Structure 1
């Protein structure tokens, strides 16, 4: 019986793969709509589409989707992948010629061109041949030439601009996909800029992440939260999380992805510079030198680091993409644990020293956040590491124009509250911390917020968070403390409890002119999406910046997640300033950090001393044998199996058995996760 007689449709494996990928594809609606509009535009105002983004962001996946859009319109798609083609004009011309021949497009001219003698002649003829064929193929419908993995073809830009593209018919649309943004010539030339269209891919939105998880059948709400938080919306990482066997503990190891983020570079100097940069949220050459210690980075390696697609420059300075930072740090920690610990200590010392002499308020705020990151416990580190595409979000001060929007936002909190469960991942400890707020708590926060007061007092420290489409997705309300706000703060729910504890002298000290507030009351941090940890992280980080203001910083909350967060940054509960304004059973404390009169330096010294004085773990939470403890200790010091075997006078097979037992007892899938799980138990493992 044939397949057709049995009712089985005969297809190629590639066809089935394409169908499955189409079913699983989620997100990128705007990019698809933009590309469809280009295909439908008979004038083709843009001739070149620059599609770019970091490793794992889904460029190739999106190209497949765009190819389907072209196929639906009968537009031929010619693909060239520079991972497999020789990245020279001759090599690319040959690869495009092969793709055209695969379409049976009559590329005899390319065959003839390949027979021509002489390098220059061969190159010119090969380019001319594919140009003639592409232009003929375009016909009335047009054609697409898509070149993927452009990060391997940086040297091709001159040939593309000077030879290939100018000769193509306007009906041929060229898509250049890679990790790097278009170079200066593409952007600086008014002509090329007008003919080009940039599509920069960022992380998937919470809604797009949810759609993908629906498609792969991930139904468990806890797993969904953890997948969204761990992946940061990076499609490759979402796919790896979804591929984990059911019931497996922990997350996939990030360390093997380090090579991808480094663009496949084998330079030891670049890897060393990237490892140390991964310890810092924001870096410059001086901070990197401080982290490296005596092993000062080569300026050439630093320049190469800045050119990596995962290195981003924004208002904060240079920084690695959040997940590149975690992957590189995981590799650093796994391969050189002692060097990693020493470098972190140097980061703390260098940051504290710069903070002590900094006078610029904005730089002080950034350095403070950097130091808090270096000193952070697991919860704070998870919040500060939450992936956030800052280029896509913007803060906007409250004013008469957007006040109705803020009031509508708060009204939704009051009348349509929802449970919020936002998870934050500490990649270093492989731990998840979840802010879980039920609908009743959400409603109460909306009820107690007084946007009319904030507007009447002209509080520009009350800020809306908007996404890349301009929608309001969050709210940060920080109330300055001065003579004009004291009355409101002393009479309104949530804030009044603290001010009722003040003596007349203490109150008088706060009655300062509005131009120089005595401090700040962090009144509200809210993200509308029930699972958007990235937006909440951004608002929390903005609020933490007020610690650098040199004033009194206050916050009141009944929620244990926020309470632990405030205590971790050194704020202390104020005696007698508790209240029940959030309702019965929701007792809230008020927490303070007084940064007045040089308090910032004293506060930082306290945090550094507290970190140094943290009690060590008293017992190991695993039932290891004596030999297993010994192997674990050697692993934490970066020794390989042969090194451990030599130290213990046993065979490598015996060491492998001990490592397998350690993995089984700790529930870890690999050595990288095992070392993260055992970090902090070095002294206990050394006692043997």
Structure 2
């Protein structure tokens, strides 16, 4: 509650100051430009999807610039999108030495970009600093211009890293008990964190009461209001039902290619894929398109609630496509191909392994004989000597079915995974889980000549199976 004297605006600024977290690198670059340090760039272009924190960061920039009496702020939403309209918004300050021009929501006047870098910026006095922020990346003609190489700094804003996201939640008054659930849902997106924290903080007391009185232990889940607000802020206008469908498919699948869209949506696929590719919340990868985590989670949660039958139908269709691709995959691509199928069941499987890999914490590679000792060590850490003995049995017989996962920071093997190809039962008493799988297969669908049974020895099929972390052991064999 606000109490005491002073201007309300000052109180608001102080509250924003306390709530601001992270963006250390971006702040350092701006302060260097503001100070006129040698080698600093006078023009900074920030881009990223809605909710990533562009406006919050620009407010921080403006606050620091105002202390030096140099800030001019322009909001692209209120600018008449013509050269004359933009010039009027900047005003007479355009000719003042040491100008700091801060332009937010530039996507609303993106058509001025060529004029901006070919004419307007060139007329600013030496010593000026310009910061432009919008959802779209700058035009390649600008970034590839050799003349601008030492003058322009382009920054793609990303989600907050876990430590900064936790600090934001703490600043919002949220206890640590709810942090993991919120971080998992939001992926570190600042807007999602803020909205979810506001709801979770109100619910925290009631949830703690339920835990004490009824033993309820379910964690935080996003409310309908949170999801609806996120979608409207993150996605903006969606042109058609088909575009919405393409987004939902993209959210549900591990990675989306034009081939996948064509199989599911027919001849509209090229147009829809091109549209997806242009969206600021979609990242292109070597294999196809991947949405930002918070967009993926919000779309999935909204469709599950809004149209459960439609969600189930889409899931069945995607599942069949992915399964057909998996069956057709050559031997050397079998393990990577399983990722797309396992991803469809990511909520039923242990989440830690996938988060490690997708978060860039580990990189996978083929098992080599030199890795044997570490793999056996991990199996024993997880569940003891008996599990290590089972692991040794399969390493001796199917070493080609193993993959190891190394920490990207230390290079140490922190996890392993196996895809066993079973053509006949192993000796009794060796692996009780494999024996149970054979018993189930014989009673339900016995193998026909030429067929084999594949078994993923991982969290995907047997919770926490075959996965260990030295600092926090998980169950293994």
Deviates most, 249-258 or 27-36? 249-258
Matched with 1:260 is 233
**Distance in structure 1 (CA, Å) of the matches to 2:386 and 2:89:** 73
**Distance in structure 2 (CA, Å) of the matches to 1:148 and 1:287:** 36
Change (3 A) 1:490 1:301: closer
Matched with 1:9 is 5
C-alpha displacement of 1:262? 2.5
- The 5-angstrom pairing of residues 633-648 of structure 1 reads none
Candidates 67, 80, 83, aligned match of 2:74: 80
Partner-residue secondary structure (3-state), 2:79: coil
Matched with 1:372 is 342
Matched with 1:283 is 256
Q: With the length of structure 1 as denominator, give the TM-score of the two structures.
A: 0.53
User: How big is each residue's C-alpha offset from its partner over 1:390-424, in whole Å with a ceiling of 9 and x where there is no partner?
Assistant: 5xx46579xxxxxxxxxxxxxxxxxxxxxxxxxxx
Partner-residue secondary structure (3-state), 2:149: helix
Partner-residue secondary structure (3-state), 2:252: coil
Q: Is the 8 A contact 1:51 1:201 kept in 2?
A: yes
- The 5-angstrom pairing of residues 579-598 of structure 1 reads none
**Distance in structure 2 (CA, Å) of the matches to 1:258 and 1:327:** 7
Matched with 2:31 is 36
Q: Is the 8 A contact 1:51 1:59 kept in 2?
A: yes
Matched with 1:535 is none
Partner-residue secondary structure (3-state), 2:249: helix
Matched with 1:520 is 402
Matched with 2:86 is 92
C-alpha displacement of 1:351? 0.6
Are 2:31 and 1:70 aligned? no
Candidates 94, 102, 111, aligned match of 1:134: 94
**Distance in structure 1 (CA, Å) of the matches to 2:151 and 2:232:** 34
Partner-residue secondary structure (3-state), 2:73: strand
**Distance in structure 2 (CA, Å) of the matches to 1:501 and 1:331:** 43
Q: Is the 8 A contact 2:45 2:155 kept in 1?
A: yes
Q: Is the 8 A contact 1:48 1:173 kept in 2?
A: yes
Q: With the length of structure 2 as denominator, give the TM-score of the two structures.
A: 0.74
User: How big is each residue's C-alpha offset from its partner over 1:101-124, in whole Å with a ceiling of 9 and x where there is no partner?
Assistant: xxxxxx4xxxxxxxxxxxxxxxxx
Candidates 296, 299, 309, aligned match of 1:328: 299
Matched with 1:54 is 49
C-alpha displacement of 1:306? 0.8
Change (3 A) 1:523 1:312: closer
User: How big is each residue's C-alpha offset from its partner over 1:466-520, in whole Å with a ceiling of 9 and x where there is no partner?
Assistant: xxxxxxxxxxxx854x5x676887899828645756999x88746xxxxxx4343
C-alpha displacement of 1:522? 5.7
Q: Is the 8 A contact 1:57 1:203 kept in 2?
A: yes
Partner-residue secondary structure (3-state), 1:194: coil
Q: Is the 8 A contact 2:363 2:407 kept in 1?
A: no
Matched with 1:348 is 319
Matched with 1:228 is 183
C-alpha displacement of 1:257? 2.3
Unaligned 5+ runs, structure 2: 208-219, 439-448, 463-477
C-alpha displacement of 1:609? 12
Change (3 A) 1:303 1:601: farther
Partner-residue secondary structure (3-state), 1:27: coil
- The 5-angstrom pairing of residues 440-455 of structure 1 reads none
Partner-residue secondary structure (3-state), 1:342: helix
C-alpha displacement of 1:210? 2.5
Q: Is the 8 A contact 1:479 1:523 kept in 2?
A: no
Partner-residue secondary structure (3-state), 2:344: helix
**Distance in structure 2 (CA, Å) of the matches to 1:168 and 1:598:** 75
**Distance in structure 2 (CA, Å) of the matches to 1:78 and 1:10:** 24
**Distance in structure 1 (CA, Å) of the matches to 2:378 and 2:304:** 49
Partner-residue secondary structure (3-state), 2:268: coil
Change (3 A) 1:486 1:69: closer
Q: Is the 8 A contact 1:148 1:176 kept in 2?
A: yes
